[in-house]
Amino acid sequence: MFNSRLDPNQRENALHALETQNFDVLVIGGGVTGVGTALDAASRGLRVALVEVNDIASGTSSRSSKLIHGGLRYLEQYDFKLVREALQEREALVTVLAPHLVKPVAFLYPLHEKIKDRTYVGAGLALYDVLRGFNRALPWHKHISQKSIAAIAPSLRPDIVTGAIKYFDAQVDDARHTMMVARTAARHGAVIATRVRCESLIFEGKKVIGVVATDTVSGKKINIAAAVTIMCAGVWSDELHAKFGLKAGYEVRMSKGVHIVLPKSAINSQSGIILKTPTSVLFVIPWNNEWIVGTTDTEYTGDRNEPLALREDVEYILNQANRVLKPKLSEAEIIGVYAGLRPLVSRKADSSTSKLSREHTVDRPAPGFVSIAGGKYTTYRIMATDAVDIASKELKRAVPNSVTDKLPIVGADGYLALMQQIPALQSESGLSAATIEHLLNRYGSLISEILELIASDVSLATSLHPSFPYIKAEILYAVTHEGAQSVDDVISRRTRLTFEAPENAETLVLQIADIIAPALGWNKNEKQLSIDEYMAIVHREREAVASLFEDKSAVNS
């Protein structure tokens, strides 16, 4: 009856449905919480629509640390409930919900004082392991000697690192995972429409019965009727509450998290590294042929749409990492810098964002309207369940309980078996084993749809660029199945070329535009416009990064 495909025809059908159908639930926001909420509601049998003003995951959900984790530092804040919930979600994502997307990743926690650190940190990691419950897909933590560290992570300074504890969390391509949750929601009947901006609420008395929206592509106004609206707007929550004339029971403080991207050669380690800092923790995270190092946790009051790193953010990251690394990281090695904003729920205007809880809040500022904010990427499913539970009370009928704790994301079904069949898939497709594995870890069992594209045009099997694992079929597939509508969508979120290799991504823009233009029905001018829009983003970010290093004083002096 339904399928997960997001393409131009699907969008047109979605816009028509928004105009002509009455929905039980309308979700505002296409971040991970929004798409998770749409999936939760749709899988309960409710009629669901989701609108997003930009692209799926275009905000915070594409700019995280890309970790699925319990939040080791929250143990020191005694936030055991949040850690336990997050760890249980981590186990479910790795084993059942998204094993094709969420992968275990090892971290070393360096120790400096043999007895004191081993006792204190070891106890904390033992508690971290215990809190995940009985479903334990990831290995237990392990104590590592200084001698072993020299083999595992030669970049850790032996003069100050006396040993380490190795533990596991999980890693995810946040934008891809968010998009796949959206596709799963569509697979269960949710109507998904991006590039739709909510302008105002529709009231019947004091009750919200829908929204007035604009299709930003055509400029057409749309009235969307819904029994209850759930706003999952993250850092835009306060702005939209004000726009809609609603007084919420909370405010959202923005915390900026900055990451730098370095080449694999910058750090010699077989494992990720986590460091305790004066205000938080710093992750050194393996990512394909790069390292992602971050993050910061500072108050932010600037433009929500384009958060930018400051020089002090980059200095902080380099200085903290260089406390334990040799040779020291330098700003000259930085490939890219990106910043994301955490939406933290606050009721105290003077609260430090580094101390605000990562737990979420669900609010009902008006009949027929529910909003949710806060939380962690890892706990998006719990947030969605809580939001739908509250919203369901507006429907005045029995609504089934959530089933998303047992509902795999599209591509998960059959993934583990397919991983055992790589030689057969290689033989049938003519692709290399490395390419097949790459595709399985991005699409899971949906690899069949990629292979169908290649079967119809063998040129799509060729590599986009010899330095990267992506093939041309993936670029076309981003438009024909994953809802991409621009060059930026493809480069920044369907692939991660925008920070994996910004210089090469720029040189690939024309090739990518040529691949997607026919599927999007673009003429020459429309194709050039999308290229120009992406290049404008690149130039703004490049100027911002360049300004970080205009001061030639040494970062690590």
Reported as a pLDDT band with limits 50, 70 and 90, residue 5 is: very high
Question: The domain that contains 283 carries what CATH number?
Answer: 3.30.9.10
pLDDT at 97: 98
Of the candidates 546, 289, 383, the residue with the CA atom closest to the CA atom of residue 40 = 383
CA distance linking residue 90 with residue 97, whole number of Å: 10
pLDDT at 117: 77
Residue range 29-40, pLDDT digits in tens: 999 999 999 999
Q: Are residues 332 and 369 in the same domain?
A: no
Q: Are residues 182 and 54 in the same domain?
A: yes
pLDDT at 548: 67
Domain membership of residue 108 (yes or no) is yes
Question: The domain that contains 395 carries what CATH number?
Answer: 3.50.50.60
Domain membership of residue 76 (yes or no) is no
- Quote the number of domains for the chain: 3
* Mean pLDDT along residues 119-141: 82
305 vs 279, which has greater pLDDT?
A: 305
Tell me the longest C-alpha to C-alpha distance in the chain: 72
Q: Phi, psi at residue 385, to the nearest 5°?
A: -60, -45
CA distance linking residue 220 with residue 14, whole number of Å: 14
pLDDT at 124: 86
Q: Are residues 124 and 266 in the same domain?
A: yes
Residue range 375-384, pLDDT digits in tens: 999 999 999 9
350 vs 189, which has greater pLDDT?
A: 189
Least confident of 47-56, 237-246, 335-344, 451-460: 335-344
CA 307 to chain centre: 16
pLDDT of residue 348 exceeding 60, the answer is no
pLDDT of residue 353 exceeding 70, the answer is no
Q: Are residues 187 and 275 in the same domain?
A: no
Q: Which residue has the tokens 């609260």?
A: 351
Q: Are residues 226 and 372 in the same domain?
A: yes
| Helix (H/G/I), strand (E/B), else coil: 459 | helix
Residue range 312-332, pLDDT digits in tens: 999 999 999 999 999 999 999
Domain membership of residue 70 (yes or no) is no
Other CB atoms within 10 A of residue 142 CB? 13
Q: Are residues 280 and 334 in the same domain?
A: yes
Q: Are residues 162 and 269 in the same domain?
A: yes
Residue range 473-486, pLDDT digits in tens: 999 999 999 999 99
pLDDT of residue 436 exceeding 90, the answer is yes
Q: Are residues 194 and 242 in the same domain?
A: yes
Reported as a pLDDT band with limits 50, 70 and 90, residue 137 is: confident
489 vs 546, which has greater pLDDT?
A: 489
pLDDT at 347: 65
- Domain of residue 483: give its range: 415-548
Task: List alpha helices for 93-204, DSSP H.
Answer: 114-130, 146-152, 174-187
pLDDT at 506: 81
* Mean pLDDT along residues 21-28: 98
pLDDT-above-90 percentage for the chain? 77
pLDDT at 557: 31
pLDDT of residue 71 exceeding 90, the answer is no
pLDDT at 441: 98
103-111 and 272-276 beta bridge pairing: parallel
pLDDT of residue 553 exceeding 80, the answer is no
- Judge residue 394's burial from the number of C-beta atoms within 10 Å of its C-beta, 0-12 exposed, 13-18 middle, 19 or more buried: buried
pLDDT of residue 83 exceeding 70, the answer is yes
pLDDT at 552: 46
Question: The domain that contains 438 carries what CATH number?
Answer: 1.10.8
